[in-house]
Structure 1
Amino acid sequence: MATIKDVAKQAGVSVATVSRVMNSNGYVNENTKKKVDAAIQQLNYKPNAVARSLYKKTSKTIGLMVPDIVNPFFPELARAVEDTAHKLGYNVVFCNTDENAEKEEDYLEILLQKYVDGLIVASNTLTAEKVKQLNIPVVSIDRKINADIPTVVVKNKSGAQKAASFLKEMGCKRIAHLSGPEHIDNAMERRAGYLEEVGSEPWFDASYIEDGNYEMKTAIKATLQLLNRHPEIDGIFAGNDVMAIGAIKAAHQFGKKVPEELAIIGFDGIALSEATTPELTTVGQPIYDMGTIVADLLVKLIEKKPVENTFYELDVELIERESTRNV
């Protein structure tokens, strides 16, 4: 494999001159530039990306940090980010933090050492002060960190209201909620939307809500607790699709037919929601659009291009499938 020294020798110039040509840094006369370019072509020279990033303090690379790679929402989001970043000339380093602040801190240190040009984060622990200390552009996705940090989210509360209202339209009389963790703002917004629609019902109390922790196994246990406590429940709104899929499994274990005896609706619109039996009714987020917008926004910030908007709150769509019914 050719080195920069080989290029310099072939072109009959110094290594410093080759470096100036490659980095467009400093004056080089046109004839010399042509010799260097020709030598690069003849030797098929590929610059060392690490060395270039050390020199330029840039790498044409962005970091993407997500809290749970097991949840299909985040790989689908990552695909959109990667597609968009690639079109814009950037590579993506993908990091899964497992909702662990220490692991998140380790990844941040590694990414900064690699001179990533910017960062996309879905984080519950990253503070505005920490973001400021990173000294690179940061955009938050799916979750809000601070009003000063560019953010892409969806209308969580109104989407949850749509879900609970739809269950009412389907004839459900006792609607329970599988909630995400209390420390995640979008989970609390979805819970608030459910409460807005159901909280004033004469039968309602807090025992109709269980924490499913945005996980399938936890949601199965939580659903069984709900059904044992309130066997009259005929509708469940789950704060994400993964929990809704767990609720379907739990209903089967409990002996309730979905949707004949129990209607279930999720939130996210992941591809897996179409593969369940029955197929899952869900409040769909525009996942690909979210990834495209957040990547495009970050690159504009990195390249110091004009940015029209730094806060996006996208609409959601209720997608009716087989897990709900009209009684």
Structure 2
Amino acid sequence: MVNINDVAKAAGVSISTISRVINQSSSVSPVTRNKVMKVIAELGYSPTASEKKDRKKSNKLIGVLFPDISNNVFGRILQGINSVLTPLGYNTVICETNGELDKEIHFLDVLKNKQVEGIIMANVHIPEEHLLWIHRNNKPVVYVCQDIPDFSLKIPISSVNMDNQQAICDMVHFLYNMGHRNIAFIGGPLHDLSAGKKRYQGYMKGIRECSLNTSQDLISFQESFTIADGYEGMHQIYEKSSILPTAVLCACDNIAVGAIDFMYDNNIQVPEHISVTGVDDSNLATAIRPSLTTIRHATFDTGIKAAQILLEYFASPSFTGNSFKLPYQLLRRQSVKHL
């Protein structure tokens, strides 16, 4: 029996494009529409009721949950989401969670009551409560900037992220090639699978691959990813280390800014005495001096991919979801010195 995936493959377009043709969306060009309709006729494809939706019955709402809507990283993602969904008549309902589990569950229930068709969210970690909610309510959820933990239940869940472990490993190699042999690390909470655990694992992987030594005196884990956490993390390394590192690799830009603040308060010059790197390429990265060497990852394309995955869910209820890795870019700026 011919299904929507067969039609998409034969027509050389995405499943979401097939769905838009079936539902007579005005966003599909006449040329593409004619090509798809020709393939449908040739294959004898008959859309199921779930694939041939009545657009008048769809409220065209998508829920978006972000921990901090003032963070320009999430702003870039939202722009990408809207670039795909707005032309198709969808509206986004944006909720700010502050990364708190109670708020996340509360807003998930609010979005369910608003009858959103799908949800895109970013959060510090993915607890079992999230996964159970998705299982109970059967709402497709796409996580951005986070990895999906192992879970036995079959649920409509996907993720869009970079390879955090390899990205931080690459940063260690960059610092090594810049002459640094004593590299410290300030990380976030390890219960955060992506920005916490994977980035720490990337640091350790890079240390091993470069045949470097490290110690607990050069590693600090913080409860969050704020500027204050970066300040405290650098303070801990300063107090514990018998020999100060030549470079500090930070798990995010906010932590890096906090570390630089501590060094400024203690007459340690960046990068003359200690080099500093971050992750995210936030607005702060280019606003501070010295400008911050960092990793750009959560971009416009992240939002585009997340929106496209939701459309795949809508077009094909059998779509089981997946984890998608997008490319990242190491940006060299003023905060790293070549030794």
Q: TM-score range by the shorter chain?
A: 0.7 to 0.9
Match of 1:189 among 194, 198, 202: 198
Q: What stretches of structure 1 move > 6 A for 4+ residues in a row?
A: 305-309
Q: Which residue of 2 aligns with 1:11?
A: none
TM, length-normalised to structure 1: 0.77
CA contact under 8 A between 1:279 and 1:321: conserved in structure 2?
Answer: yes
CA contact under 8 A between 1:64 and 1:121: conserved in structure 2?
Answer: yes
Letter in 2 for 1:269: D
| Matched position secondary structure for 2:304 | helix
Letter in 2 for 1:211: F
- Give 1:294 shift: 0.3
Q: Which residue of 1 aligns with 2:176?
A: 168
CA distance in structure 1 between the partners assigned to 2:239 and 2:111 by the alignment: 47
CA contact under 8 A between 2:253 and 2:282: conserved in structure 1?
Answer: yes
Per-residue CA shift, 1:240-261, capped at 9, x if unaligned?
1111121121211121111111
Max radius of gyration: which structure? 1
Q: Which residue of 2 aligns with 1:3?
A: none
The answer to whether 1:216 aligns with 2:249 is no
Bigger mean CA deviation after superposition, 146-155 or 135-144: 146-155
**More relative contact order in 1 or in 2 (CA 8 Å, sep 6+)?**
2
- Give 1:196 shift: 1.1
CA contact under 8 A between 1:128 and 1:145: conserved in structure 2?
Answer: no
| Matched position secondary structure for 2:288 | coil
Per-residue CA shift, 1:128-174, capped at 9, x if unaligned?
22211122221121112346621111010110001111111212221
Q: What is the 5 A alignment of 1:18-167?
A: 58-123=58-123, 124=125, 125=127, 126-146=129-149, 149-167=157-175
The answer to whether 1:225 aligns with 2:233 is no
CA distance in structure 1 between the partners assigned to 2:110 and 2:274 by the alignment: 47
CA distance in structure 2 between the partners assigned to 1:288 and 1:202 by the alignment: 36
CA contact under 8 A between 1:283 and 1:316: conserved in structure 2?
Answer: yes
- Give 1:207 shift: 2.3
CA distance in structure 1 between the partners assigned to 2:136 and 2:75 by the alignment: 28
- Give 1:305 shift: 8.3
CA contact under 8 A between 1:78 and 1:291: conserved in structure 2?
Answer: yes
CA distance in structure 2 between the partners assigned to 1:241 and 1:68 by the alignment: 15
CA RMSD of aligned residues (A): 2.5
Letter in 2 for 1:136: K
The answer to whether 1:262 aligns with 2:300 is no
Alpha carbons of structure 1 residues 88 and 270: separation in structure 2 relative to 1, 3 Å: farther
- Give 1:74 shift: 2.2
CA contact under 8 A between 1:224 and 1:254: conserved in structure 2?
Answer: no
Alpha carbons of structure 1 residues 63 and 245: separation in structure 2 relative to 1, 3 Å: same
Per-residue CA shift, 1:100-155, capped at 9, x if unaligned?
22111211111111111100122323532221112222112111234662111101
CA distance in structure 1 between the partners assigned to 2:135 and 2:57 by the alignment: 18
CA distance in structure 2 between the partners assigned to 1:305 and 1:276 by the alignment: 47
CA distance in structure 1 between the partners assigned to 2:140 and 2:67 by the alignment: 20
Q: What is the 5 A alignment of 1:1-16?
A: none
Alpha carbons of structure 1 residues 105 and 307: separation in structure 2 relative to 1, 3 Å: closer
Give ranges in structure 2 of 5+ residues lacking alignment: 1-54
CA contact under 8 A between 1:152 and 1:312: conserved in structure 2?
Answer: yes
CA contact under 8 A between 1:164 and 1:194: conserved in structure 2?
Answer: yes
CA distance in structure 1 between the partners assigned to 2:171 and 2:322 by the alignment: 28
CA contact under 8 A between 1:161 and 1:194: conserved in structure 2?
Answer: yes
| Matched position secondary structure for 1:64 | strand
TM, length-normalised to structure 2: 0.74
The answer to whether 1:301 aligns with 2:313 is yes
